[in-house]
Chains A and B, each alone.
Chain A
């Protein structure tokens, strides 16, 4: 759970940070960076829905693969080959030969970074608001939005336009559902992912914070218990839907209202490699302080049957 900052705590923290930044001791600069780094890492884990769908793996230099044409970081990942169906043969028949082959895909890295923020350290002392929140909102969330935006763009590319049969699965992976969000509609939506050749059961469902309220409107006779009353009193408190983890995002520009994205277990999706964790660079010169954050990651979806989307009215 994120720490709740009182105004007094914020003032104390900003004062501490300001003192460290005003110091000429490089050790203090490191400590100032560490204060921010510690918080940032918590925010990344909480706020990137990509990281909740495919857990990031911090890859080390000795795990990278070398290729001839570039020295930019690359990791080659094997993909499980599809097996051929068995067949009936009469007595005396011999099996057809099939040479073993398989697929691989490269995961390559790129860097995300924030703008570089500059400030006179004396001005920092006049702020009563939570400076860490400002840093988080203005800088780190930009990185996370970019990261998640890339992921959802990849998902949309895979599932294609609504009600279109995709060549890789031979099924519709993006279904426009008729009617509103009801129990029947939700259960029908669960079928979309598991109808692909992979027969994947949806284990993670991505939706936005408005859609969760639509889900909350399902009538009591459909729930069959007092859940609606509990929702009215306490809000949505369940973290699962039909056994799948609910991942609720506030990024409505990426995950529109009444849209659901369905994912199987992460081993059936792809890889999410963390090449450089979110890092805050702080530089102080005279009375000016500058800081920016960056991270490097590489991610790819190798199993295009492992994503589905449903749009409800």
Chain B
């Protein structure tokens, strides 16, 4: 089965309403952890995750109290990384200077920002009534995709606003207001 080329509008995160982009927008820069890339590489825009103790982005939310972060670029976008192989183990590699040879920091929208987001990264097998809390699992290649969550149990990253919408490019996206709702943990 041949694979179709990746198109820019296939996986998207959009700020439908609210303060982004702009100089006053609440955004964050962080490197992506090896754990996250081990789950899925490249990581598509619109997935959610959090910062680990090293300040790197991990995929998914689970049940720990963390600040949700939504990844804006694709993790291998050319302003994030330009990987040309590992010269320590391969021949005929090239090494990028810019972006940094180990990859630049990626850009994230912070879950406490004042905006309504639309992400193509959600579990299409679920139903999304308005006011449904959203969370995300932390394992498998689906980590970071949005799915209904239980307030108090899961780390929730927002609440469904318009439901499933067209992302503007004939792809389904879940539209929600971003804000963190923390689980009942100490």
Q: Is A70 part of the binding interface, using a Cβ–Cβ cutoff of 8 Å?
A: yes
Min Cβ gap B51→A in Å is 21
Instruction: Given A68-B5, A69-B5, A304-B93, check contact A109 B98 (CB 8 Å).
Output: yes
Alpha-carbon distance between A28 and B94 when the two chains are bound, in angstroms: 46
Q: Flag if B101 contacts A153 (CB, 8 Å).
A: yes
Residue pair A168, B77 in contact (C-beta under 8 Å): no
* Chain A residues closer than 8 Å to B91, beta-carbon distance: 167-168
Q: Of A33-41, A213-221, A294-302, which binds chain B?
A: A294-302
* Cross-chain contact B78 with A301 (CB below 8 angstroms): no
* B169 touches A (CB below 8 Å): no
Asked whether, in the complex, the Cβ of B8 is within 8 Å of the Cβ of A150, the reply is no
Task: Check A147/B98 contact, CB under 8 A, given A69-B7, A70-B77.
Answer: yes
Please measure, in the bound complex, the distance between the C-alpha atom of A74 and the C-alpha atom of B95, giving whole angstroms: 15
User: With an 8 A cutoff between CB atoms, is A72 at the interface?
Assistant: yes
Contact B78 A72 (CB under 8 A): yes
Check A160–B87 contact: CB distance below 8 A. yes
Find chain A residues with CB under 8 A from B97 CB.
50, 150-151, 154, 270, 272, 299-301
What count of chain A residues pass the 8 Å CB interface test? 38
Which of A79, A111, A167, A300 touches B79 (beta carbons < 8 Å)?
A: A111
Please, how many angstroms separate the alpha-carbon atoms of A150 and B79 in the complex? 14
B interface bracket (residues with beta carbon within 8 Å of A) = 20 to 34
Q: At the interface, is chain B mostly helix, strand, loop or mixed?
A: loop
Main secondary structure of the interface of A (DSSP, over half): mixed
Q: Smallest CB–CB gap between B91 and chain A, Å? A: 5
Among listed A90-98, A100-108, A133-141, A232-240, interface-contacting one:
A100-108
- Of all chain A residues, the one with the shortest Cβ separation from B98 is A299
Q: Flag whether A158 is at the interface (Cβ < 8 A).
A: yes
Does B88 sit at the interface, judged by CB under 8 A?
yes
Cβ of A71 within 8 Å of any chain B Cβ, yes or no, is yes
**Contacting pair B79 A72 (CB below 8 A):** yes
Residue-by-residue, is A269-299 near B (CB-CB < 8 Å gives 1, otherwise 0)?
A: 0101000000000000000000000000111
Q: Is the CB of B90 within 8 A of A167?
A: yes
A150-B97, A270-B97 given; A116·B78 CB < 8 A: no
Assembled-state Cα–Cα distance A293/B97 (Å): 20
Nearest residue in B to A103 (C-beta to C-beta)? B92
> Which residues of A lie under 8 Å from residue B101 when comparing CB positions?
150, 153-154, 157
Q: Is the CB–CB distance between B104 and A168 below 8 Å? A: no
**Bound Cα distance from A167 to B72, whole angstroms:** 36
Q: A105 CA to B93 CA in the complex, in Å?
A: 9
Task: Give Cα A299 to B97, complex, Å.
Answer: 5
* CB <8 Å contact, A108 and B100: no
Contacts A69-B5, A108-B99 supplied; 16 other A-B pairs, CB < 8 Å = A50-B97, A108-B78, A108-B79, A110-B80, A110-B98, A150-B97, A153-B100, A160-B88, A166-B88, A167-B87, A168-B90, A270-B94, A297-B98, A300-B82, A302-B94, A304-B94
The residues of B with any CB-CB pair to A shorter than 8 Å are 5-8, 23, 74, 77-80, 82, 84, 87-102, 104
Q: Which 7 A-B pairs have the closest CB atoms?
A: A108-B78, A299-B97, A105-B94, A110-B79, A69-B6, A154-B101, A154-B95
Interface residues of A (CB under 8 A from B): 50, 68-74, 79, 103, 105-111, 116, 147, 150-151, 153-154, 157-158, 160, 166-168, 270, 272, 297-302, 304
